[in-house]
């Protein structure tokens, strides 16, 4: 039997922390944060901690959060934590996994190593692992655990759009499409995508009939929204009845949402890995189960 653990969270994630605390039965406490006029931050954790500490920090807009994690994890160790788990429902910097041009930082490896040096275990949801097979290659922590939002999104699509044609906007989405399709027997296909820049995306539809179909574009992340928007334009031009979108991580700005809607995307659903108006399903129980398994594995 493991000693009790505590869940630490930051202000902006109070709602997510409550859901996770309720699902996992963990006690939870807020990390106090003060921002000095010069932009530096000071953190204050509960002054005594149990041996097992879980830190919840989703890593959208990650730069400052990485400094917070450095301060929080090092402080937690001095306050008694022996086993530190990071729950980062969205894990940043996973897309830059090679140097595309000489001299570029391979951010995935650097940020992954940084987190592995701070935490014994890292739990995340649908990390963008393209050219590496396992999360451990990117984040070499003692335990690096990957969960998927695709089954939750598949269940939602099955309720809202029974009989939908599930479509992945690019080759990398094939893994999530396959998982979701297997769960409900959806027809499915995957587009080809060429990215020419942050806001320039070329999509080629697969050779499957779409006329009159309710198509749902399913992907791990939508950021500028151009991938989904471009796929939607092509699908509607090819006669699709409706095009909706389901993503695990909604990094979308208001402007990106507007652009997607102008392109004809109907409903946009996301999981709550990142707090966002499109959140439609919660990963709290998934995370809680992973924490439970981790406790059992370590017990
Ligand atoms: C990349 O391959 C991902 O799976 C997404 O398709 C991509 O990040 C979406 O980005 P955006 O919304 O900026 O087009």
Count of residues in the chain:
299
31-71 tens-digit pLDDT: 999 999 999 999 999 999 999 999 999 999 999 999 999 99
The architecture of the domain spanning 150-281 is 3-Layer(aba) Sandwich (3.40)
Of 19, 188, 193, 249, which is the active-site residue? 193
pLDDT of 222 over the 70 cut: yes
For 261: left if phi > 0, alpha if psi spans -120 to 50, otherwise beta; the answer is alpha
Instruction: Report the nearest atom of ligand 1 relative to the CA of 226.
Output: 14
Measured between alpha carbons, how far apart are the two ends of the chain, in Å?
Answer: 6
- Contacts of 64-67 with CB under 8 Å at 24 or more apart are 66/92, 66/111, 66/114, 67/41
Name every residue whose Cβ is closer than 8 Å to that of residue 156 and which is 6 or more positions away in sequence.
Answer: 246, 269, 280, 281
Q: C-alpha distances in angstroms, 229 versus 278, 283, 291?
A: 16, 25, 36
Rounded distance between C-alpha atoms, residue 5 and residue 178, angstroms: 36
- Domain range list for the chain: 5-148+283-298, 150-281
Ligand 1 center to 217 CA (angstroms): 12
pLDDT of 4 over the 90 cut: no
pLDDT at 2: 58
CATH code given to domain 5-148+283-298: 3.40.50.2020
% of the chain surpassing 90 pLDDT:
93
Arithmetic mean of pLDDT, 241-247: 98
Ligand 1 center to 227 CA (angstroms): 6
112-156 tens-digit pLDDT: 999 999 999 999 999 999 889 999 999 999 999 999 999 999 999
pLDDT at 64: 97
Arithmetic mean of pLDDT, 164-185: 93
Do 150-281 and 5-148+283-298 fall under one CATH topology?
Answer: yes
State the helix-helix crossing angle for 226-237 and 254-262, rounded to 10 degrees.
10
Q: Is 33 exposed, middle or buried (0-12, 13-18, 19+ CB in 10 A)?
A: middle
Instruction: Report the nearest atom of ligand 1 relative to the CA of 173.
Output: 4
pLDDT at 130: 85
Q: Is 210 exposed, middle or buried (0-12, 13-18, 19+ CB in 10 A)?
A: buried
Question: Which residues is 187 bridged to in the sheet?
Answer: 165
Q: Is 193 a catalytic residue?
A: yes
């Amino acid at each position: 039997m493991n000693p009790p653990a505590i869940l630490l969270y930051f202000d902006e994630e109070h709602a997510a922390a409550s859901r996770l605390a309720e699902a996992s039965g963990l006690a939870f406490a807020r990390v106090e944060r003060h921002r000095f006029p010069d932009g530096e931050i000071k953190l204050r954790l509960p002054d005594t901690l149990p041996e097992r500490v879980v830190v919840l920090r989703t890593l959208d807009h990650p730069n400052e959060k990485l400094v917070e994690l450095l301060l929080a994890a090092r402080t937690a160790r001095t306050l008694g934590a022996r086993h530190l788990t990071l729950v980062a429902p969205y894990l940043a910097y996973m897309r830059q996994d090679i140097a595309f041009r000489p001299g570029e930082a391979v951010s995935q490896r650097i940020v992954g190593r940084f987190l592995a040096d701070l935490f014994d275990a890292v739990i995340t949801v649908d990390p963008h692992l393209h050219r590496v097979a396992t999360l451990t290659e990117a984040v070499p922590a003692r335990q690096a655990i990957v969960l998927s939002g695709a089954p939750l999104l598949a269940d939602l699509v099955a309720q809202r759009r029974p009989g939908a044609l599930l479509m992945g906007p690019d080759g990398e989405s094939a893994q999530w499409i396959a998982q979701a399709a297997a769960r409900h027997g959806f027809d499915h296909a995957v587009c080809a995508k060429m990215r020419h820049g942050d806001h320039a995306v070329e999509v080629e539809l697969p050779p499957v009939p779409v006329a009159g179909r309710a198509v749902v574009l399913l992907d791990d992340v939508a950021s500028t929204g151009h991938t989904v928007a471009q796929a939607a334009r092509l699908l509607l031009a090819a006669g699709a009845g409706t095009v909706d979108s389901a993503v695990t991580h909604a990094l979308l700005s208001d402007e990106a949402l507007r652009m997607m809607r102008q392109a004809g995307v109907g409903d946009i659903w996301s999981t709550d890995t990142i707090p966002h108006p499109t959140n439609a399903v919660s990963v709290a129980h998934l995370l809680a189960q992973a924490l439970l398994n981790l406790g059992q594995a370590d017990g």
